[in-house]
């Protein structure tokens, strides 16, 4: 570990293999809290690279007991968080729209960190279990097209990092990599990020991690979702090729809304907003979900254009298919053994 720390402090980048070795050491019984803290702070000070991110993510995913064989065309639309926008749960609501459009969604997420309600908080309020086992997840992905993977459950091996991060209280590489650590073998991914500066690095990381198609997006006002408040900046990964794109509400035929019009609230508030959207209640929340779900459908390849993706998202809601996916997930949660739930 001393060699890796010295290299980073000298502002030299680690290779994927070196980052994997350093991460494995941090998860071993030999590592001290001081060594883990030194690695995280040194990386943050130097600035992480795509190789370093890919290296740490590969180890984290390999340590998860939820790792699966590849599931054809599976997607995740989890964002990094950290934008402090206090918006409603956009990606969580959009996930059900994606599933309603026939796309398999492995929704990775956690409780609130910088907002009032994280994905886990709002889903728990709706009556969805946070304690699905690997078998539950695989059954749900095949039969319901959507399952929720609660990060602390699927990454129990990360306790050494979790403890140190809590004491450090500063931004680390973990504020970037959460969505990348989904243990399900994803084919495609829609990744919202809080900073435009980190977009190229995360796009390269997704490429190194083997995503066939992906979109990294930074929304207007540095939101980790697409918004209808102005220019959204995208990097599209398609079979190894990266392309930059700027997307506005006008370019996809949707109205303009301010960031204030998509504010959320408590888990209960956001659950009501989610239900309103899936029941077809029109307005800023609905149109914002159309945009984000449309982008997800386009990312997955079910639509050839973003505009077509938006129309398929609209159909998913208006047909009741998106709401049905939610209801099935709630029903499944009520049927699993009480000792698990």
* 45-to-6, 9, 83, 167 alpha-carbon distances in Å: 13, 8, 20, 17
Q: What are phi and psi of 92, to 5 degrees?
A: -65, -45
- 294 is an annotated ligand-binding site residue: no
- For residue 184, say whether it is annotated as part of any ligand binding site: no
Ligand-binding annotation for 165, yes or no, is yes
301 is in an annotated binding site: no
Residue 287 assigned to a binding site: no
Query: 87 labelled as ligand-binding?
Result: yes
Q: Residue 238 annotated as binding?
A: no
Consult the annotation and say whether 63 binds a ligand.
no
Tell me whether residue 108 is annotated as binding.
yes
Distances (CA, A) of 205 to 19, 189, 296, 314, 328: 13, 12, 19, 31, 34
Q: What is the DSSP letter of 178?
A: G
Q: Is 45 annotated as a binding residue?
A: no
Is 239 part of any known ligand binding site? no
Question: Does residue 279 have a known ligand-binding role?
Answer: no
Residue 13 annotated as part of some ligand binding site: no
Tell me whether residue 113 is annotated as binding. Answer: yes
Instruction: Give every CB contact of residue 158 below 8 A, 6+ residues apart in sequence.
Output: 27, 60, 63
243: which strand partners? 236
111 carries a ligand binding annotation: yes
Task: Give the separation between CA 78 and CA 69, rounded to whole angstroms.
Answer: 20
* DSSP per position, 184-221: S--SEEEEE-S-GGGHHHHHHHHHHTT-SEEEEEEBTT
Contact 136, 147 (CB under 8 A): yes
85 is in an annotated binding site: no
Report the alpha-carbon distance of residue 94 to residue 243 in Å, rounded.
24
| Closest C-alpha to 5, from 55, 50, 40, 54 | 40
Consult the annotation and say whether 129 binds a ligand. no
Q: Is 204 annotated as contributing to ligand binding?
A: no
- The annotation places the binding site for 5-phospho-alpha-D-ribose 1-diphosphate at 79, 82-83, 87, 89-92, 107-115, 119
- The annotation places the binding site for anthranilate at 79, 110, 165
- The annotation places the binding site at 79, 82-83, 87, 89-92, 107-115, 119, 165, 224-225
- The annotation places the binding site for Mg(2+) at 91, 224-225
């Amino acid at each position: 570990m001393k060699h890796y720390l010295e290299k980073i402090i000298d502002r030299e980048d680690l290779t994927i293999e070196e980052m994997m070795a350093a991460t494995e050491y941090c998860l071993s019984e030999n590592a001290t809290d001081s060594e883990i803290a030194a690695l995280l702070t040194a990386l943050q000070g130097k600035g992480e690279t795509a190789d370093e991110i890919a290296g740490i993510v590969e180890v984290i995913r390999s340590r998860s007991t939820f790792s699966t064989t590849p599931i054809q065309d599976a997607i995740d639309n989890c964002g990094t968080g950290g934008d402090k926008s206090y918006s409603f749960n956009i990606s969580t609501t959009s996930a059900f729209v994606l599933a309603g459009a026939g796309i398999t969604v492995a929704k990775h997420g956690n409780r609130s960190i910088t907002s009032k309600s994280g994905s886990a908080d709002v889903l728990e309020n709706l009556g969805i279990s946070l304690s699905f086992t690997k078998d539950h997840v695989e059954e749900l992905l095949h039969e319901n097209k959507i399952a929720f993977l609660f990060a602390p459950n699927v990454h129990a091996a990360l306790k050494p990092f979790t403890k140190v991060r809590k004491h450090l209280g500063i931004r680390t590489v973990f504020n970037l990599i959460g969505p990348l650590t989904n243990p399900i073998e994803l084919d495609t991914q829609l990744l919202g990020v809080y900073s435009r500066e980190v977009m190229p690095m995360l796009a390269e990381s997704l490429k190194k991690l083997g995503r066939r198609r992906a979109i990294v997006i930074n929304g207007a006002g540095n939101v980790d979702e697409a918004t209808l408040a102005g220019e959204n900046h995208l990097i599209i990964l398609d079979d190894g090729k990266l392309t930059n794109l700027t997307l506005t509400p006008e370019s996809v035929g949707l109205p303009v809304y301010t960031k204030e019009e998509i504010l959320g609230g408590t888990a209960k508030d956001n659950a009501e907003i989610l239900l309103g959207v899936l029941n077809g209640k029109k307005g800023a929340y609905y149109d914002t979900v159309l945009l984000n779900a449309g982008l997800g459908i386009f990312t997955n390849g079910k639509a050839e254009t973003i505009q077509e993706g938006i129309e398929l998202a609209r159909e998913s809601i208006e047909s009741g298919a998106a709401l049905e996916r939610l209801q099935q997930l709630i029903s499944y949660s009520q049927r699993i053994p009480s000792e698990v739930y």
